[in-house]
Amino acid sequence: MICPICNYGAENVNALQLLNLIETSTYYCPNCGLYFRSPLPSQEAVYRYYTSRYFRYSENIEREMARCQGAFIIQQLQDHRVDLSQINYLEFGAGRGWVLSHLKNTGLIKSAIGIEPDNLSVQWGKENLGVDLKTGMLNEDLLVEIPSKYSETNVISLIHVLEHLHNPYEILGLLRKDLKPHFLFLEVPDAEYEGPVMEIDTFPWSSMGQHFWSFSAKSLCLFLEKQGYQIISFEREGNPHYWESTMERLSLWKTYFSLNEERYLYGDLNLRDVLTANFNLMIGSCLIKIKSLKAPKQTRLDLPIIRILAKSK
Ligand SMILES: [Zn+2]
């Protein structure tokens, strides 16, 4: 498989059932560090999936995440001498509208509008945060009406959205082409840390919400430049140890299943070995649990991420 970003040969690293919708494979590009899945479910299936999911973290976590993201946007625009009072912010996949609320409450920008596929989140955000949220899914159909409906937009925001898109090239290409010169704010999980998890996590119970793409710093910068954006600010944040206990847990289960499967396939499955494998799994799980109790508590705020502010060329 050819890497869609740098055209280098990508390696097939596993096969899995993605979102419980399709049998697919994960590929890794050793040149730019991109992880991607192919084939992907149909756009209709993805649309149905995301319009029926009411996903959220706790209010405190979401508020704090929004504060970090909002602060980055404001700070970077200010550093680039942008007149904030003329900023019309448009966010796709805006969730319950925490970033909109943060930006609105600074009183610094002209307007903030969000579009979100999940109607329950939209209702909650309107009622509880008083933000301007509309229901809609980021796809080619929606983008047809964006330039006329939101012609004054000059900051586009995609926060943890790019990795869920069926066709990020087309979407970003359309945004860049059809909208007036604008800034683009992106936040995605960092593939340097998330990628190894995608490599070993092929369990059906983890299938919910899995990403189609995982961008490394290099692949994301290449991708944006190819799409006609100039990167003006870039940062990586999060705890590099965030995924460690998940990786340990997944590896333990992986070993357990593959050992038993191997024995079964070779007709070598006996009660003593199964009991030993179960015992090892139990001890391993307990050790991971004890270790995690001693480790500092992590939250979603510790997830390693990449944040970028870019400008359409
Ligand atoms: Zn590549």
pLDDT in the model for residue 20: 82
Site of tokens 């209010």: 59
Distance 173 CA to ligand 1 centre (A): 19
Residue 118 and residue 55 in contact, taking contact as beta carbons nearer than 8 Å = yes
Cα separation, 163 vs 246, in Å, equals 20
Residue 25 class from Cβ within 10 Å (0-12 exposed, 13-18 middle, 19+ buried)?
Answer: middle
Cα separation, 134 vs 136, in Å, equals 6
pLDDT in the model for residue 143: 87
> How many C-alpha atoms does 40 have within 13 Å on its Cβ side?
19
- Collect all residues with Cβ–Cβ distance below 8 Å to 298 and sequence separation of at least 6: 239, 241, 242
Average of per-residue pLDDT values in the chain: 91
Distance 89 CA to ligand 1 centre (A): 31
End-to-end CA distance of the chain: 30
Distance 212 CA to ligand 1 centre (A): 15
Distance 305 CA to ligand 1 centre (A): 19
Cα separation, 176 vs 148, in Å, equals 14
Distance 214 CA to ligand 1 centre (A): 11
The model's pLDDT over 3-32, given as tens digits with 9 standing for 90+, comes to: 999 999 999 999 998 888 889 999 999 999
The strands making up 35-38's β-sheet, listed across from edge to edge, are 11-18, 22-28, 35-38, 213-214
Cα separation, 171 vs 302, in Å, equals 29
| Residue 223 parent element (H or E) | helix 217-226
The model's pLDDT over 127-166, given as tens digits with 9 standing for 90+, comes to: 999 999 999 988 888 888 888 899 999 999 999 999 999 8
Distance 34 CA to ligand 1 centre (A): 6
Distance 51 CA to ligand 1 centre (A): 31
Distance 217 CA to ligand 1 centre (A): 11
- How far is residue 11 from each of residues 217, 218, 259, 263, measured CA to CA in Å? 19, 17, 24, 28
The model's pLDDT over 162-205, given as tens digits with 9 standing for 90+, comes to: 999 989 999 999 999 889 999 999 999 999 999 999 999 988 77
Ion ligand 1 contact residues with beta carbon within 5 A: 3, 5-6, 8, 29, 31-32, 34
Q: At residue 68, does pLDDT exceed 90?
A: yes
pLDDT in the model for residue 210: 85
162 closest CA partner among 222, 215, 217, 208: 215
Which of the four pLDDT bands, split at 50, 70 and 90, describes residue 126?
A: very high
Q: At residue 208, does pLDDT exceed 70?
A: no
Which residues are registered as beta bridge partners of 154? Answer: none
Predicted TM-score (pTM) of the model is 0.90
